[in-house]
């Protein structure tokens, strides 16, 4: 099982015109967001900067990132940060130098320091609304990149967002939008583990095949079939749980097909991030009333104290062959912005990461 996962991790090679670093100096590189996004993200919104790192203070560590995570949430959430500033995000890294007893040299860590190749942080400080710095347990057979995907923020988002918000029961019908993405692909598989019927919407025939390969009962290319027609075929009795990654017109259509007492977990709205029209769900308020729907948004940091327990269960399911972890790997820290842009044109299947 694990070898098949590794075979799917085919790196994408992109060209770079950056100068080589001077190996004699301890320098850090990071990507700066020069200006807030206007419409679709552009390469010109970013700048790669290099700086000489200072001496460590007591309680600090120097880290070197192994993989950088690019995620759709980084676009809307970066809007509240001043510019220019380090682009937000997480990475899986190794501790190179340490003046912190809890984080020895060589330790593997996950941290929310942003798009940073090498830098210095105080692990006791919270770096982001999603968390700070934590040591991840080394689990045999799993790539460290999994701590950014199936066993990281996307996997935990799927795990807690589905199980704690939607609470699917065996035999119920679960619909997932953005189903071939890092979160959506995990949601469908977790729902299957819990005995639910799963329906996924995605944007290409290739991704439809991927969803069926990982166990979705139904998968539809929304560009070729309307949501209404797809649900007439796959959920004639209505939708019990809807895990929403997309928003917009797709969500309006699914909400109109919810079953009595349905639950909706609002995780994201990627269809609106580049200026798309928001859902007209406010027009459905009478429907919500009489079908007694529960609609709840969430941020995965709500369950921060339970993250390690969730991670270990996700890892167990992967090792048991119950979860298949899809990854799209982009080679080279210099290509982080290109990878980020790829999230919005459907370049990724599963989790998109940058191999530093």
pLDDT digits (tens, 9 = 90+) for 98-136: 999 999 999 999 999 999 999 999 999 987 777 789 898
Residue whose structure tokens are 């035999």: 171
Domain-embedded: residue 308: no
Domain-embedded: residue 335: yes
- Looking at residue 100, which CATH number applies to its domain? 3.90.180.10
At a CB cut-off of 8 Å and minimum separation 6, what does 341 contact? Answer: 40, 41, 42, 43
Are 264 and 332 in the same domain? no
Are 33 and 77 in the same domain? yes
Are 271 and 331 in the same domain? no
Indicate the SS3 state at residue 77: helix
* d(C-alpha 186, C-alpha 179), whole Å: 8
Q: Model's pTM, two decimal places? A: 0.77
- Count of C-beta atoms within a 10 Å radius of residue 213: 11
Domain-embedded: residue 314: no
Rounded mean pLDDT of 10-18? 45
> According to the model, what pLDDT value does residue 201 have?
98
Domain-embedded: residue 187: yes
Nearest one of 63, 113, 118, 120 to 90, comparing CA atoms: 113
Domain-embedded: residue 115: yes
Domain count, the chain: 2
Residue 160's DSSP bridge partners are none
Are 196 and 277 in the same domain? yes
Q: How confident is the model at residue 7 (pLDDT cuts 50, 70, 90)?
A: very low
Q: pLDDT tens digits, residue range 282-318? A: 567 788 888 999 999 998 889 988 988 999 999 999 9
Q: How confident is the model at residue 15 (pLDDT cuts 50, 70, 90)?
A: very low
Domain that holds residue 49: 2-148+327-355
Nearest one of 339, 86, 343, 157 to 356, comparing CA atoms: 339
Q: CA–CA distance from 153 to each of 45, 70, 186 (Å)?
A: 25, 11, 11
Are 342 and 284 in the same domain? no
- Looking at residue 188, which CATH number applies to its domain? 3.40.50.720
For residue 16, pLDDT over 60 is answered with no
Are 93 and 161 in the same domain? no
Are 332 and 257 in the same domain? no
Q: How confident is the model at residue 277 (pLDDT cuts 50, 70, 90)?
A: low
At a CB cut-off of 8 Å and minimum separation 6, what does 285 contact? Answer: none
User: What does the block give as tokens for 50?
Assistant: 């290099």
Q: How confident is the model at residue 23 (pLDDT cuts 50, 70, 90)?
A: low
DSSP 201-238: EESSHHHHHHHHHTT-SEEEETTTS-HHHHHHHH-TT-
Helices (H), the chain: 2-8, 74-77, 153-160, 182-193, 205-213, 227-234, 248-255, 285-291, 307-319, 336-342
Domain-embedded: residue 265: yes
> According to the model, what pLDDT value does residue 282 have?
58
> According to the model, what pLDDT value does residue 271 have?
64
Are 279 and 346 in the same domain? no
* d(C-alpha 212, C-alpha 302), whole Å: 31
Residue 18 contacts residue 48 (beta carbons within 8 Å)? yes
Exposure of 339 in the CB half-sphere (CA atoms within 13 A): 31
Domain-embedded: residue 184: yes
> According to the model, what pLDDT value does residue 278 have?
60
Nearest one of 85, 92, 88 to 111, comparing CA atoms: 92
Rounded mean pLDDT of 171-187? 95
Are 158 and 246 in the same domain? yes
Are 126 and 219 in the same domain? no
Are 139 and 207 in the same domain? no
Residue 88 contacts residue 94 (beta carbons within 8 Å)? no
Domain-embedded: residue 307: no
Are 194 and 68 in the same domain? no
Domain endpoint, select from 300, 316, 338: 300
């Amino acid at each position: 099982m694990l070898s098949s996962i590794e075979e799917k991790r085919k790196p994408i090679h992109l060209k770079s015109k950056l100068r080589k670093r001077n190996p004699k100096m301890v320098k850090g590189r990071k990507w700066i967001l020069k200006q807030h996004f206007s419409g679709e993200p552009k390469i010109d919104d970013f700048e790669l900067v290099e700086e000489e790192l200072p001496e460590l203070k007591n309680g600090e560590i120097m880290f070197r990132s192994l993989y950088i995570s690019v995620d759709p949430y980084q676009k809307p959430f970066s809007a509240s940060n001043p510019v220019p500033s380090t682009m937000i995000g997480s990475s899986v890294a190794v501790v190179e130098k340490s003046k912190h007893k809890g984080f020895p040299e060589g330790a593997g860590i996950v941290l929310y320091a942003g798009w940073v190749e090498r830098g210095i942080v105080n692990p006791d400080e919270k770096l982001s609304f999603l968390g700070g710095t934590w040591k991840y347990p080394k689990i045999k057979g799993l790539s460290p990149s999994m701590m950014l995907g199936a066993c990281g923020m996307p996997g935990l988002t799927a795990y807690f967002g589905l199980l704690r918000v939607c609470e699917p029961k065996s035999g119920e019908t679960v619909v997932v939008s953005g189903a071939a993405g890092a979160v959506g692909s995990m949601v469908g598989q977790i729902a299957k583990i819990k005995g639910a019927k799963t329906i996924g919407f995605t944007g290409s025939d290739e991704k439809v095949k991927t969803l069926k390969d990982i166990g979705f009962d139904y998968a539809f290319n929304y560009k070729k079939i309307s949501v209404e027609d797809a649900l007439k075929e796959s959920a004639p009795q209505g939708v019990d749980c809807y895990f929403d990654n997309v928003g917009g017109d797709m969500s309006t259509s699914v909400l109109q097909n919810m079953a009595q007492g349905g639950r909706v977990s609002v995780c994201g709205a990627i269809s609106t991030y580049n200026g798309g029209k928001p859902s007209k769900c406010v027009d459905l308020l009478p429907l919500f009333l009489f079908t007694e729907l529960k609609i709840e948004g969430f941020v995965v940091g709500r369950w921060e104290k339970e993250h390690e327990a969730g991670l270990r269960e996700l890892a167990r399911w992967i090792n048991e062959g119950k979860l298949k972890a899809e990854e799209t790997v982009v080679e080279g820290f210099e290509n982080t912005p290109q990878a980020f842009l790829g999230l919005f044109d459907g370049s990724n299947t599963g989790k998109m990461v940058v191999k530093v």
